[in-house]
Structure 1
Amino acid sequence: MEEKAVNKTNSNGYTFMFAIIMVVVVGSVLAFAATSLQPLQNENVRQEKMQNILATVGIEVDRAGSEELYNQYITETIALNSDGSVNEQADAFTVDLAKELKRPAPNQVFPLYIADIEGEKYYIVPLRGKGLWDAIWGYIALKDDVNTIKGAVFDHKAETPGLGAEITQVWFRERFTDEKIFDESGNLIGVSVVKGSPDPTDKSDFKVDAISGATITGDGVSDMISERLQHYLPYFKTQQEIKVAIQ
């Protein structure tokens, strides 16, 4: 009898059954953990988004304190249609650019955040594009002339550590500060990330120095800035208080 019991536990059927039970148990535990943690993960993402938006206008804050300062300094959140009109049905903060970019441009919704910092007005535009390996994204803040960059924040999904992933670093972000995006005729040029050490003091050359070895990621940053900003021109043209001549 003892030998039969041993043989039973060593059988293929027993092994398969044990494996199936373990898969079900582990899968159930993981599913429960994922479901339980989802609200916390969503909250972390929401706070990090506020944190990044604030960083573009020079307000550095930890994630836990981001909501209070966001509510203090972000005075308007607007969802725009492609013609510059306000989309009253959309919630700007919850617009998912990854999904929007899969739609034709005329059907997309364009979020815009407006900040007031000590009486100075800033327009914050969300960005999204493609790097070397996957998506890159960020935010760029424009001063009240919508021609001068106040600050920018970038992030990525899978860029190379030490190369393209360096777009998240403060020293790279600071290269965009005070750069112009329109030429003297009011044409949108944007800012290009290029090799060759552009003069960092020349803020009207529409260029910042690239990260060595990260050409494709840099091109992605350049492209997403000009592509995303282009969609906000119809709205900017309707704002009488904006000081720059936009074509």
Structure 2
Amino acid sequence: MDRNKNSYIFIYSIILVVVVAGALSLVAVLLQPKQAKNYEIEQKRNILSALKINVETKEVESNYAKIVTEIAVDEFGNEVEKEDALILYKAQTDKGLKYVFPLSGKGLWGPIWGYISLDEDLNTVYGAYFDHKSETSGLGAEIATEHFQSQFSGKKIFNSENQFVAVKTNKRGAQNENEVDAISGATITSTSVSEMLESCLNKYLPYIEKSRK
């Protein structure tokens, strides 16, 4: 075949594209188990962060296995063994029994997520962890900082009349034990955190009310 002909160049280009695409697909398949493992470790690290336990990557799985138990509950708050059930976590820490609830919501520019841990009374917040995909640096992105997250410790998700209210952000500053300071200049992201906490914890309310002490 004349290598200077357009047909040769065309066929060669097709073969090259197929080979490269196949190689990339193979690499993606080979990397999937590692990526899944990394995601699992990151998730466990975030749960530990909500429990105020910060360890190196190599120590995440051993620390998690020692204290955390995964629980599945149905919409009535009963513990079940179902794939489509709600998941939460019990952790027996050196500070006592804690419950950890996963959170997910929508910020100003994209997804936000996190975990919140409650004391054994299932009312008092022990710790919180939040993160985001694309909130504004220095503003909404502050939800991922220790300064913002530490405000939640000691707050209550039930008010003085025993009504579920979650924990709200307030741009005027925390006015009671159910509020924290909102982030200055990031009203929408701050409100999104409030909405995420309320909507996500509300799903677990039947379990929380059944188990409260």
For 1:194 and 1:15, locate their aligned partners in 2 and report how far apart those are by CA, in whole Å: 65
Match of 1:87 in 2: 80
What's the CA shift for 1:64? 2.0
Aligned equivalents of 1:203 and 1:114: distance in 2? 28
Q: State yes or no: 1:78 paired with 2:50.
A: no
- Separation in 1 of the partners of 2:114 and 2:209? 24
Partner of 2:156: 180
State the match for 1:94 in structure 2.
none
Pair 1:180–1:42, CA change in 2 (3 A):
same
Aligned residue identity for 1:230: N
Alignment-derived partner of residue 232 in structure 1 = 204
CA distance in 1, matches of 2:11, 2:103: 50
The CA distance in 2 between the partners of 1:145 and 1:172, in whole Å, is 23
Per-residue deviation at 1:193? 2.1
Measured after TM superposition, the shift of residue 127 of structure 1 is 0.6
Cα pair 1:139 1:153 within 8 Å, conserved: yes
Are residues 1:129 and 2:122 paired? no
Question: Do 1:47 and 1:64's aligned partners in 2 also have CA atoms closer than 8 Å?
Answer: no
Query: Which of 170, 181, 184 is residue 194 of structure 1 equivalent to?
Result: 170
Distance (Å, rounded) in 2 between the aligned partners of 1:175 and 1:73: 24
- The separation in 1 between residues aligned to 2:116 and 2:210, in whole angstroms, is 20
Partners of 1:41 and 1:155 in 2: CA distance: 19
2:72–2:81 contact (8 Å) kept in structure 1: yes
Q: What is the CA deviation profile of residues 153-186 of structure 1, one whole-angstrom value per residue up to 9, with x for unaligned ones? A: 1122332333323322222211211111111111
What pairs up with 1:17-166 in 2 under 5 angstroms?
17-74=11-68, 76-90=69-83, 109-118=85-94, 120-166=96-142
Counterpart residue identity of residue 163, structure 2: N
Classify 1:19/1:132 alpha carbon distance in 2 versus 1 (closer, same or farther; 3 Å): farther
Deviation at 1:6, TM superposition (A): 7.2
For these two proteins, the number of residue pairs brought into alignment is 213
Higher-Rg member (1/2): 1
CA contact (8 A) 2:3 2:9 kept: no
Residue 134 of structure 1 aligns with an amino acid whose one-letter code is G
Any unmatched runs of 5+ in structure 2?
none
Native 8 Å contact 1:55 1:153 kept in 2: yes
- Deviation by residue 1:210-232 (Cα, 9 ceiling, x = unmatched): 22332222221111101111122
Letter of the 2:94 counterpart: E
Identity of aligned residues (%): 42
Distance 1:225 1:78 in 2: 19
CA drift of 1:7 comes to 4.6
Select the residue among 189, 194, 207 that pairs with 1:217: 189
* 1:224–1:19 distance in 2 versus 1, CA, 3 Å: same
Structure 1 gap segments, 5+ residues each: 91-107
Q: What is the alpha-carbon distance in structure 2 between the residues aligned to residue 28 and residue 135 of structure 1?
A: 32
Structure 1 length-normalised TM: 0.78
The residue type equivalent to 1:173 in the other structure is: Q
Q: Does the CA-based 8 Å contact 1:180-1:203 persist in structure 2?
A: no
